[in-house]
Amino acid sequence: MGRCMTLIAASIAVESAAELDSVLDRAGECVRAGATMIEWRVDELALETDGIRSTLELVRRSPAPCILACRPAWEGGEYGGEEAHRVALFEAVLAADQRPRYIDLELKAWRGNPAWRTMIRACELRRDLTTGLMLSVHDFRSRPADLLQRMEAMVLEPRCAVVKLAWQARSLRDNLEAFELLAARQKPMIALCMGRFGVMSRVLAPKFGGLLTYAAADSASPTAPGQLTVPELVRTYRFAQLGHRTRVYGVIGWPAEHSLGPVIHNAGFDAVGHDGVYLPLPVPPEYEHFKATVGAMIDDSRLSLRGASVTIPHKENLLRFVRDRGGRLDECVERIGAVNTLVVGSAGGMACLNTDSTAAVEALCANLDVERSDLMDKEAAILGAGGAARAVAAALLEAGVKVTVFNRTPQRAEELRDQMGGVAIADRKALSRRRFDVYVNCTPLGMSGGPAPDQSPLPPDAPLDDSVTVMDTVYAPQRTPLICEAESRGARVITGMDMFLRQAAGQFEQWTGVPGPIETFKTAIRSHNAAAGAN
Ligand code: NAP
C-alpha cells in the first residue's frame, strides 16, 4: 500500500494588518519545514476596518494553497462580529482571482443562516468555483453527544467537499473513534482529537487516510490544544513516511509528554528502515485507566499497536495487566515485580519484560571494559528500594555481585530482601564506614523537578576514590550532584543517560528485531536539545 498524501496545514492566526509581512514570513518557514498547506485564521483580522482587503492580500500572497477560516467565539474562535460581515468577507474572497483551496465554515453557521447558502450559490453561478467548502464541527470541552448525526449532516450536504470533526479527547480511546470514522469516510475527511490525549490522532492521520492534520507554526502559538509544530511532525514523527501499514509504539506514563522516547525511537526507526512511529501515550495513574486504555488499543487491530515503553506510575500496572490477560512474562520479571516494556504480537498476544535490568549491567560492563563474569564477587551498594532498585539488584545478583541495599524506609528494603534473596540491607550510616566497588543511585535525588534536585544520595564522607564506580539512574540532568561529586573525588562515573539509552536499545530490539542504534539515539537527543535551546 502506498503512502497517503495527508497534508500538513500550518495553522496561523492573524490579529491585524500590521502583522501581514511577519505572518507571511512564518508561513514561508512552515512551508520550508514541510507544511503543504496554510490555514489562515482571520478571526481578529476580519474585524479591522480594512479586514476584507487584508484577507484578500493574505490569500494572494500565501506561500502554499490555503484554507481560510474565521472562527466565531461561539465555536471556540475569536471572531465576535456580525454574521453578515463574515458572509461578506467570504464572498469577497471567493470573488477574487486568487482564492483559497478551502473555506472552513462551521456546520452550525451553514445550517443556521440561509445567507451562507445563498452566497455560495451566487458564487457558483458567477464562476466555476474551485474552492472547496469544508464544513466543520469543533468541541473544545468533550465529544459532542450527537457527533455522528452531525457527521451525517455534513456527509449528506452536496456542497460539502470536506467533513471536519475536532473534539477534545477525554482519553486516548477517543482517538480510536476518530480513526474508525476516517476509515469509514464517504468524503474527504479530517477527524482530530484535541488536547493532551489527542496527539495520536494528529500524528496518525496518514495511517487512516485523513485529508490533513493541523500543525502550529511554533510551540508558542498553537491555534488549538495539542497541536504539534510543523518541525515536530516532520522531523520527530516522520509524518511523510507514515502510512496505512505503519506500526504504532509509544511511551505509556503520567505524564508521558516529557519523555525523550519519541525523539530517540523515531530516529531509530528511520535509521534502520522500520515502518513504525512512537508516540507519547498519557494514561492517568489508576489501574482501571491503564486496563481500559491499553486493552482498547491492543484490541483495535487497525491501530497495529506493537509495543510500548511503560514508565511511572504504570510499571506495576503493566505486569498485572499482562498477567491478567495471560501474556508471557520474562522469567526475572516476577521477581522484580515491575516491567518497563510491552511487546504486542500481530495476533494480539503480548509479553512484557524489564530492560532496565539488563541495561544496568551492560552499562557497568561497557564502562569498566569488563565481561559480565568479571563482576562476580564485586560489592555493590544500591541506594533506594523502588522499581529501579529492584531491576538493578536482580541483574547484579544474577551476575554474582554482592548487593547491599540502603533505603530511607527500612521496611521497603526488607521487602526487597525477602523477595529477591541474596541481598543484604544496611543502615545509611554504613555508607560512611564501608567501601563498595560500585554505587548505584536508584532514588530520584538529583533529578530536576524531583523531590531534591540539589541533593546527592551519598553522605559527604562516603569513601569515594579512583577505585570505585558510581552509577546514577537519574538522567535529567545528566550531571547530577552525585555524578559531579564522585567525579571530583576521582571515581569512575556512569550517567543515568547511559543506562537510559541502553534500556531503550533493548526495547527497540524487542520490537524491531534489530539492535537499538545507540549512536543514532545520541545524535537525535543532541539535535533535539539544540532545537529546544534555539526556541
Ligand atoms: P520508585 O519505585 O518510586 O522508588 C523510589 C526510591 O527512591 C524509593 O526507594 C524511595 O524510598 C527513594 N526515595 C524517594 N525520594 C527520596 C528522598 N527524598 N530521599 C531518600 N530516598 C528517596 O521509583 P523508581 O521507578 O525506582 O525510580 C527511581 C529513579 O530511577 C528515578 O529517578 C528514575 O528516573 C530512575 N530510573 C532511571 C532509569 C534509566 O534508564 N536511567 C530507568 C528506571 C528508573 P522510600 O522507599 O523510602 O519511599
Convert the pLDDT of each residue in 62-73 to its tens digit. Answer: 999 999 999 999
Q: pLDDT grade, residue 341 (50/70/90)?
A: very high
> Which residue has a Cα nearest atom 20 of ligand 1?
408
Q: pLDDT grade, residue 481 (50/70/90)?
A: very high
Q: Is the CB of 412 under 6 A from ligand 1?
A: yes
* Cα 489 to averaged position of ligand 1 atoms, centre (Å): 24
> Which residue has a Cα nearest atom 18 of ligand 1?
451
Cβ atoms of 87 and 118 closer than 8 Å: no
Cβ atoms of 172 and 201 closer than 8 Å: no
What percent of the chain shows pLDDT beyond 70?
99
* Cα 517 to averaged position of ligand 1 atoms, centre (Å): 27
Known catalytic membership, residue 315? yes
368 vs 330: which has the higher pLDDT: 368
Number of neighbouring beta carbons within 10 Å of residue 441: 28
pLDDT(249) > 90: yes
Burial class (CB in 10 A: 0-12, 13-18, 19+), 186: exposed
pLDDT on residue 126: 85
pLDDT on residue 1: 41
Asked whether the bond before 463 is cis by omega within 30 degrees of 0, the reply is no
| Average pLDDT of span 346-350 | 89
pLDDT(493) > 80: yes
pLDDT(16) > 50: yes
Number of neighbouring beta carbons within 10 Å of residue 528: 18
Cβ atoms of 167 and 194 closer than 8 Å: yes
Q: What is the mean pLDDT of the chain?
A: 96
Query: What backbone phi and psi angles, to 5 degrees, belong to 529?
Result: -65, -40
> Which residue has a Cα nearest atom 31 of ligand 1?
444
> Which residue has a Cα nearest atom 3 of ligand 1?
386
Q: Which residues contact 101 (CB under 8 A, 6 or more apart)?
A: 37, 65, 66, 67, 131, 132
99-108, 396-405, 415-424, 504-513: least confident range: 415-424
Q: Is the CB of 474 under 6 A from ligand 1?
A: yes
Cβ atoms of 502 and 359 closer than 8 Å: yes
Q: pLDDT grade, residue 2 (50/70/90)?
A: very low
For the chain, give the longest Cα–Cα distance: 92
Mutate to test the pocket of ligand 1, among 340, 441, 443, 480 (most ligand atoms within 8 A of CB): 443
| Average pLDDT of span 125-145 | 93
Number of neighbouring beta carbons within 10 Å of residue 493: 22
Mutate to test the pocket of ligand 1, among 315, 408, 507 (most ligand atoms within 8 A of CB): 408
pLDDT on residue 392: 97
**All cell numbers assigned to 391:** 531491576
Cα separation, 28 vs 21, in Å, equals: 11
pLDDT on residue 519: 98
pLDDT(331) > 80: no
- Active-site residue identified among 164, 315, 429, 522: 315
38-47, 191-200, 331-340, 430-439: least confident range: 331-340
pLDDT on residue 533: 77
> Which residue has a Cα nearest atom 48 of ligand 1?
409
Q: pLDDT grade, residue 4 (50/70/90)?
A: low
pLDDT(138) > 60: yes
Atom of ligand 1 nearest to the CA of 312: 25
pLDDT(535) > 60: no
pLDDT on residue 534: 64
Cα separation, 482 vs 448, in Å, equals: 13
CA torsion through residues 42, 46, 50, 56, sign: positive
